[in-house]
A and B are shown apart, each in its own frame.
Chain A
Amino acid sequence: MASEIEKGTKYIPEMTQSEIDDLNKSMKTSSLKVIEDNIEKMKKSWKDRPQVMEYFDEISNLFGKRQEEIKQQKATGKKVIGYSCIFAPIEMILAADAIPVRVGSGWYDSAKLGDRIMPVEVCPVIRSTVGAKMVNLSPFLELSDAIVMPLTCDGRTKLSEMLADHKPIWRMNPPRVKDDPHTLSMWKQEIMVIKEKIEKLTGNKIDRKNLKTAIEKMQQATKAFRRLQELRKGNPVINGRDAMLVNQTSLWDDIERWTQKVNELCDELEKRLEQKEYSTYPDTPRVMLTGTPMIWPDSWKVPNLIEESNPQGVVVVDEQCSGDRILYDPVGVDEWTMSDMIDAIGERYLMACTCPCFTSEHGNEDRINWIIDRIKEYKVDGVIYYVVRGCILYAMEYQRIKNVLDKMNIPVYYLDTEYTREDVGQMKTRVEAFLEMLEARMDI
């Protein structure tokens, strides 16, 4: 029971409706402009951008078609379940006929609002998400009937309390030690708790049949996703930014339709690969991104810089929960029994994940192995390690990754930034110098 003194919201300050409306309007306008600019830039950099990309452009409009669709479905009684992190078991949400949407915020403007209640040392992803809530900026967060929040870092732990001022929050407690014998059973209990909550909210029982259907749906998505990533291994037939956009729209799109569109895109790209029609010069330095999630639309700052730099780079792969980690791993079921399916979901979300929130006897070695494998498979020339200030776990794991990459003779650059546009000029110099360095190495 909260104390008598503690009335009203616990964190989020009272604001007048007119202030909320004004800020919402100006931030939305500015965000629409950023979305439009990003798409324009992608189109400009990729002559003959396939027509099917326009589908993903449309879905990328956070205030557009997809929002309207969800609104309409909600009006028919469907529930919307938001999630802040890819640990949330999407299959369970789908099985209960609810709509899953990711609600993390990539808006720079709203981070300034978050500053009203948090010091600037706090990760801007958190400040921005709270700021977005303060002025109802995020359509998907607003539409959510509940939000699944795996507490993967300190920022997200307190974020769950802040958002609880306005939304039902379902916390998940991911184990931090991955190799303890009881880790998996503990995590499965967390998943069972979420399962019950989903069933209660939606009024739909998650059973063997609908869970199997949901798992199969997501397996199809994974298949399409892997098909696209496979295409990035050779000479570039898709620019990094476009692939990143495709990957990220899966977080809020209708997953079946998304899968179909990705397959259409891959059909086209496979043709182009055969005909050697590349999206950019084949000798462009190949960059891998890792680190803090890069959330659409404002965080496109970094891939825009890389792919518009002189010399130019192309992002061929990433190790981010906003990118290649989203759908890479399928839920692998042996027997389609309820208990087997739940086991498989538990394993997929926990054991396959390379998030730096984990440790084990050998530290977060899964991440190291993932990065090493990808560097080899995607013929990566250099790695950009992206960290926003306040993102402690990624910042701290850098040294270990760097030591490994140094041994492999793969250059890595630590690119630290904030949720701001003011440092673009300075970042441009860093990114260009890094790409010049990669280009010079390739000349030898």
Chain B
Amino acid sequence: MTNNNEKTEYWRWLEYKKVRPNMDPKKAKIITAGVDVGSVGSKAVIMLDGEIYAWSVMRTGSNSSDSAKKALGWAMEDTGLTLDDFHYIVGTGYGRVNVPMANRAITEIACHAKGANYIWGPTVRTVLDVGGQDVKAIKVDQNGKVVSFLMNDKCAAGTGRGMEVIADLLKIPIEDVGKVSLSVTEEPKPVSSTCVVFAKTEAVGLLRKGWTKEKVIAAYVRAMAIRMSELIEKVGCEKDFVITGGQSKNIGIVDRVEKILGVKRLPVPNLEETGLDPASAGAIGAALFAKALYEKSLNQ
């Protein structure tokens, strides 16, 4: 890390895509996709007969419909598929109504519940989805159906966007935020502001007071983990407990939420091979809904 490289975008996270080998779309009976346009990340998942075939995760641009097209287009690369091949597409996330190729929009709350059920199986009861701009605590049944849910208010603190702002301020690459926040020997007092704008001001103040970057980031991440835990406790934390959304990768958040709640989340599956990416749980759920809705349309 260098101080003279002013232009480094510390907040920028890695975009990725993958097509699973040994699967043939030509043999598939039902081809569906889920496109999750979040406030920070856009995710697309392509399924062949309900099994994940290809996926992409990229940054959402200023235009929801372009982001949807780009994410799905990227996932389709190297698959030989065209848009006409899809039997049904479901849009979800913040920009769900602006997914031009979608047959239907379903909220990310239902999609994360469904996706979590698919990723971890029918024992999942509580899902914490930490997205780019909001946090949702969702209770689900054995079929992946939403039983109840709570959502934080309109505020980016403690979410993906908040983490980006703080990563940029402290010049810590976003992928390292969680790890760095855990490097303190003793947990500092959490920042008191629940608004990312004020939290940023507070962080600057702490730096001036002589706090190390590690301590400041720990104070921020801890405050956010406390907020999330409060939300889960309000909805009632039943096992099995899982975390989805972009922040499921933030070990600083995950570790602290587990400690505060006294509950371990189910481990993240092997993403590279299976495509079971907790960050894409919404898109996975959407692709599954797409299959179910297509089948329903055949029966009508």
Q: Which residues of A approach B to under 8 Å, CB–CB?
A: 310, 411, 416, 422-423, 425-426, 429-430, 432-433, 436-437, 440-441
Contacts and interface: CB of A to CB of B under 8 A. Distances in A.
Q: Is the interface of B mostly helix, strand, loop or mixed?
A: mixed
Interface stretch (B41-49, B101-109, B166-174, B246-254): B101-109
B146 interface: yes
B207 interface: no
A310 B146 contact: no
A422 B155 CA distance: 12
Given A423-B154, A426-B154, A429-B151, A440 B108 contact: no
Contacts, number: 39
Contacts of B154: 422-423, 426
A411 B151 contact: no
B147 interface: yes
11 contacts: A416-B153, A429-B94, A429-B108, A430-B151, A433-B108, A436-B107, A436-B109, A437-B110, A437-B145, A437-B146, A440-B146
Contact of B110 (A411, A416, A425, A440): A440
Contact of A432 (B107, B134, B145, B148): B107
A433 B105 contact: no
Nearest to A406: B148
Contacts of A411: 148
B149 interface: yes
Contact of A437 (B94, B105, B147): B147
* Max count, chain A CB within 10 A of own CB: residue among B94, B104, B147, B154: B154
A441 B105 CA distance: 19
Nearest to B152: A426
B109 A433 contact: yes
Contacts of B134: 426
Nearest to A414: B150
Most interface-central of A411, A416, A425, A429 (chain B CB within 10 A): A429
Interface in B138-184: 145-149, 151, 153-154
A22 B113 CA distance: 50
A432 B148 CA distance: 13
A238 B217 CA distance: 55
A416 B109 CA distance: 18
A425 B94 CA distance: 8
Contacts of A422: 154
B115 to A, nearest CB: 14
Contacts of B153: 416, 426
A429 B110 contact: no
B96 to A, nearest CB: 9
A118 to B, nearest CB: 21
A436 B148 CA distance: 11
Contact of A429 (B109, B146, B147, B148): B109
Contacts of B146: 433, 436-437, 440
B105 A310 contact: yes
Nearest to B145: A440
Given A426-B154, A436-B107, 19 more contacts: A310-B104, A310-B105, A411-B148, A416-B153, A422-B154, A426-B153, A430-B151, A433-B107, A433-B108, A433-B110, A433-B149, A436-B109, A436-B110, A437-B146, A437-B147, A437-B148, A437-B149, A440-B110, A440-B145
Contacts of A433: 107-110, 146, 149
Interface in B84-118: 94, 104-110
A411 B94 CA distance: 24
Contacts of B108: 429, 433
Given A310-B105, A433-B109, A441 B145 contact: yes
User: Which of A411, A423, A440, A441: most chain B CB closer than 10 A?
Assistant: A440
A391 B108 CA distance: 29
Nearest to B151: A430
Contacts of B149: 433, 437
A382 to B, nearest CB: 11
B146 to A, nearest CB: 4
A174 to B, nearest CB: 33
- The CB with the most chain B CB atoms within 10 A, among A422, A423, A433, A441, is that of A433
Contacts of A437: 110, 145-149
Contacts of A416: 153
Contacts of B147: 437
Ranked 6 nearest A-B pairs via Cβ: A433-B109, A433-B107, A437-B146, A436-B110, A432-B107, A440-B145
Interface string B50-83: 0000000000000000000000000000000000
B148 to A, nearest CB: 7
Contacts of A310: 104-105
B88 to A, nearest CB: 15
A444 B264 CA distance: 31
A440 B109 CA distance: 13
A442 to B, nearest CB: 11
A426 B148 CA distance: 17
Nearest to A389: B153
Nearest to B154: A426
Nearest to B147: A437
Contacts of A423: 154
Contacts of B145: 437, 440-441
Given A426-B134, A441-B145, A436 B106 contact: yes
A295 B35 CA distance: 38
Nearest to B144: A440
Interface string B26-45: 00000000000000000000
A423 B109 CA distance: 17
A440 B140 CA distance: 12
